[in-house]
Amino acid sequence: MTQPVLSIEHLSIDYEVGAGVFHAVSDVSLVVPPGRVVGIVGETGCGKSTLAQAIPRLLPEPPAHYRSGKIIFQGTDLIPVPRGKLPQVRGTGIGMIFQEPLNSLNPAFRVFDQIAEAIQMRHWREEGILPVFHPGPTPFDYTHRPLPEPVDVLSRPVVPGNAKAAVAKKVRTRSDFRKEVLEYLRLVRINDPETILDLYPHELSGGMRQRIMIAMALSGKPALLIADEPTSALDVTIQAQVLTLMKELIDEVQASILYISHDLGVVAETADDLGVMYAGQLVEFGPVAEIFEAPRHPYTKSLLRSIPTRYKSDWPMPTIPGAVPNLSRLPRGCRFHPRCSLAKPICAQDPGPVLRVIEARAGSSSSHQASCHFAEEVASLP
């Protein structure tokens, strides 16, 4: 069994704010095998974004504390790494795609400069000029990749209406990377990349910016891509385009992807394995098809039920009573029990085993696990 790209073991992260302590992530364990897409789904405040940013240690360390656990990336635990060495870990091994590309792209630099910078960093690492913490294997190489064949509608120019007309200018800086930058832009299905090289982020549309963000993340040739709600800020049709792009990239790129979203529809389309988070804990994990067919945790079941598109009958719409608990005042025992219709007295005392294996089918990518005393009875819920 090949070494998993990412293995999180019993990770707990707390935020210490003046008003109290927020247990943002509690005892989360999951494994991302190489070349697979693991989706993490949950509502606002469940800790998924914290988890995403914790893996490359992007959280501001004073309010956030890694209470316990390990984050093992390609065999090395990232938590004990001293702060000074952190830049060596990020970028080459782990690539990140954030939610709002207008905030994540530097508004003062043109597209070319931003992607070229990422490529520059990678080159320096490969040539040994920059110290590398953990030189991982490069999973793919685009310099010899054939150009994708144009598909009918996707081959129409994607340049928005307000691009400058006279953009055929000489690009002045770091022209040796130009070829590679254009490669990566074509990789994200921008069919006329020369036109946008000179533009600033604010001159592009949301969908374009997100593609550039993806190109930047890929240009580091990461072994793990963490996508933190990459399509939530986009319009519906643009979201569909970017999702299509991601699905195609998943097939082409051999990186593993940790895909985080609040939208079950989106993870259904992209993920192989799915983890459901609630109030900082991973309450269910397993192959995505199995979870959608037969969820084993009451929260997952309620979540699936309250997705409006799957929902057939009329008013009233099913809801989950109550509200997400405040992460500094968590209920005792199982965190979901105040809202659970299966709750029994034991649920208030004992949180139960974390992610016990319910089912492990042969040929499935992973075993189906859930954190519930009564996982077998969940199927009987309406």
Partner 1 sequence: MTGPPLLETEGVAKFFPIVRTVADIVTGRRARAIHAVDGVSITVRAGETVGLIGESGSGKTTLGWVVARLHEATSGAIRFEGRDILALEGAELRYWRHNIQVVFQDPVGSLDPRLTVWQIVGEPLQAQNQMQRWFAVHEPRRIRRDYRIASRKEHKRLTREFQDAVHPKAAARRKLTDDYHNGVAERAKLLEADRERWTDEYQIAVRPSRGGTPPIPAAERQRRHAELQARVRDRTTRAKAEEKRLGVEYRAALKQTSQIPPVPPPERQRLHDEYRAALKRGLPPPVIPKIPKPPRIDREMIRAKVQEALPLVGLMPEILDQYPHEFSGGGRQRISLARALIVNPKLIVLDEPTSALDVAVQAQILNRLIELQRERGIAYILITHNVAAVRFVADRVAVMYLGQIVELGPVRQVLERPVHPYTKALLAALPVADVRRRRTRFRIGGDIPTLIDPKPGCRFAPRCPFVEEGCRTTDPALLPRPGAPDHQVACLRAEEVADISPAELLETRPSPAGSTGGAPAAAAPSVS
Partner 2 sequence: MAATPLKVRRHRRGSGGTPPRPVGRSVWRSVRGLYRVMRANPLTFIGFLLVAIILILALIVIVDPALIVPYGAAQNTGVYKQPPTLLQWPPSIQHPFGTDQGGLDIYSEVMLALPLDLGIGIGIAAFALIAGGALGLIAGFWDQPRTLGGALSVVIMRTTDVFLAFPSLVLALAIVASIGRGVWAAILAIMITWWPYYVRLVRGETLAVKHLPYVTAARAAGVRDTRILTRHVLRNVLEPVVVYFTLDIGTVLVTFSTISFVGAGIPFPGKVPEWGSMMSFYQQNYVLSTYWWYITFPAIAIFMSALAFSLLGDGLRDVLDPRTRRALAESSSFHEPPAEVPQPAATPDAAEAEEEEIEEEAREAGVAA
- Using CB under 8 A as the criterion, which residues of the chain lie in contact with partner 2 when the complex forms? 12, 14, 16, 18-21, 23, 26-27, 67-68, 321-323, 326, 328-329, 331-332, 337-341, 343, 348
Residue 193 φ/ψ, nearest 5 degrees: -65, -25
| 239 lies in the site for partner 1, by CB under 8 A | yes
Q: Which is nearer to partner 2, 51 or 197 (CB)?
A: 51
**Using CB under 8 A, which residues numbered 94 to 123 contact partner 1?**
none
Closest contact distance (angstroms) between CB of 323 and partner 2 is 6
Contact by Cβ (8 Å): 160, 235: no
Q: Which is nearer to partner 1, 199 or 264 (CB)?
A: 264
Nearest to 94 by CA among 286, 222, 233: 222
| 268 lies in the site for partner 1, by CB under 8 A | yes
Q: Which of 318, 344, 353, 376 binds partner 1 (CB under 8 A)?
A: 318
Q: Which is nearer to partner 1, 34 or 63 (CB)?
A: 34
| 262 lies in the site for partner 1, by CB under 8 A | yes
**Using CB under 8 A, which residues numbered 274 to 303 contact partner 1?**
288-289, 292, 302-303
| 365 lies in the site for partner 1, by CB under 8 A | yes
Site string for partner 1, 125-164 (x = CB under 8 A): --------------------------xxxxxxxxxxxx--
Farthest CA pair distance, the chain: 72
Q: What is the DSSP string of 289-316?
A: HHHHHS--SHHHHHHHHT-GGG--S-SS
Closest contact distance (angstroms) between CB of 353 and partner 2 is 15
Three-class SS state of 61 = coil
Contact by Cβ (8 Å): 17, 64: no
Stretch that binds partner 1, among 64-72, 123-131, 311-319, 367-375 (CB under 8 A): 311-319
- Two tokens at 64? 């956030």
**Using CB under 8 A, which residues numbered 319 to 338 contact partner 1?**
319-320, 323-324
Q: What is the DSSP string of 234-273?
A: S-HHHHHHHHHHHHHHHHH---EEEEEES-HHHHHHH-SE
Contact by Cβ (8 Å): 278, 24: no
Q: What is the DSSP string of 82-115?
A: -GGGHHHHBTTTEEEE-S-HHHHS-TTS-HHHHH
* Contacted by 348, from partner 2, partner 1, none: CB < 5 to 8 Å by type: partner 2
Residue 49 φ/ψ, nearest 5 degrees: -70, -35
* Contacted by 99, from partner 1, partner 2, none: CB < 5 to 8 Å by type: none
Nearest to 361 by CA among 298, 294, 304: 294
Closest contact distance (angstroms) between CB of 158 and partner 1 is 6
| 186 lies in the site for partner 1, by CB under 8 A | no
* Contacted by 367, from partner 1, partner 2, none: CB < 5 to 8 Å by type: none
* Contacted by 237, from partner 2, partner 1, none: CB < 5 to 8 Å by type: partner 1
CA distance 258 to 32: 8
DSSP state of 18: T
Q: Which is nearer to partner 2, 20 or 135 (CB)?
A: 20
Q: Which of 80, 82, 128, 308 binds partner 1 (CB under 8 A)?
A: 308
